[in-house]
Amino acid sequence: MIFIGNHLASSKGFEAMGKHAVELGGDTFAFFTRNPRGGSAKAIDPEDVKRLQELMETHGFGRLVAHAPYTMNLCAEKPNIRQFSIEMLQDDLKRMEYLPGHYYNFHPGSHVGQGAEKGIEMITDALNQSLWPEMSTTVLLETMAGKGSEVGRNFEELKEIMEKTDCRDKLGVCFDTCHVWDGGYDIVGDLDGVLKEFDRIIGLEHLKAVHFNDSMNPCGSHKDRHEKIGQGKIGMEALKQVATHPLLQDRPFILETPNEDEGYAAEIALIKGWAKDGKR
């Protein structure tokens, strides 16, 4: 069994997100920790968090997957942008402790012409400044499609970041189906082979969450354009194989497809139906 949900707006608070997820049929969800295009963050109400935790326990939720803002770039070329990014990361991780034991996902960054090795060095330095042994949150590096100067375009780059980070037990990976497909990993023709390669390079025990998206583009396009489930180049059958694969169970799957509530509810019901079919 997987946990399935989608990305939700956080403007009305934690309990409201939980209720919204339940209305859509979900048992997990993702949310931005702050304005995705800026740096502002709302004050956290501990009582609001407590109400969400009670709701999650009642409805059997899996772990949540918070998402860093898109403006966070730990390997930015400009020192002021990088420092601002580090400060956002550190503040977000402190805020995550109000909701202990969940995931914080981020795009590793774009090296902006400095080269992948320099980018990896800067990312690990930022993580070493920001992670601490007693933290309850697991920080997830997202697999990237490889557009522009993105770091994390392959499993090897993610492995290098993890190996160079001091608190590596606080790190995991979010496996984005659109990104790995666009990045050149054939999850349609050889899903078992891709997961075997991930296990060999990083270890499947570090694959903590899945961003579950179809793609508008062919394999290896390095473009990163999400599509609704079954309407893209990955396709319905291949995505069903991902969601029901025995090596990927018990993880939160987060939909980031281009949908409104009605579409997300339909996709969540579809994916839950796959799980029921597998038990018959």
- The H or E element spanning position 62 is none
Q: Which residues contact 94 (CB under 8 A, 6 or more apart)?
A: none
Taken in order of first residue, the domains within the chain and their CATH numbers are 3-279 (3.20.20.150)
Nearest Cα neighbor of 136 from 173, 164, 167 is 167
Residues 186/220, Cβ–Cβ less than 8 Å = no
3-class DSSP assignment, residue 73:
coil
CA distances for 75 relative to 29, 91, 123, 273, angstroms: 28, 18, 6, 42
Strand partners, 171: 139
| Residue pLDDT tens, the chain, 280 long | 999 999 999 999 999 999 999 999 999 999 999 987 767 788 999 999 999 999 999 999 999 999 999 899 999 999 999 999 999 999 999 999 999 999 999 999 889 888 899 999 999 999 999 999 999 999 999 999 998 889 989 999 999 999 999 999 999 999 999 999 999 999 999 999 999 999 999 999 999 999 999 999 999 999 999 999 999 999 999 999 999 999 999 999 999 999 999 999 999 999 999 987 765 3
Bridging pattern class, strands 226-227 and 214-215:
antiparallel
Residues 276/27, Cβ–Cβ less than 8 Å = no
The first and second tokens of residue 223, run together, are 């473009």
Instruction: Map tokens 């025990």 to a residue.
Output: 205
Q: At what angle do helices 46-59 and 14-24 cross, to 10 degrees?
A: 20
Residues 252/209, Cβ–Cβ less than 8 Å = yes
Q: What is the per-residue pLDDT for 183?
A: 97
Q: What is the per-residue pLDDT for 14?
A: 97
Amino acid in the structure at residue 247: L
Q: For residues 26 and 257, give the distance between their C-alpha atoms in angstroms, rounded to a whole number.
A: 15
Q: What is the per-residue pLDDT for 95?
A: 96
Nearest Cα neighbor of 149 from 102, 116, 190 is 116
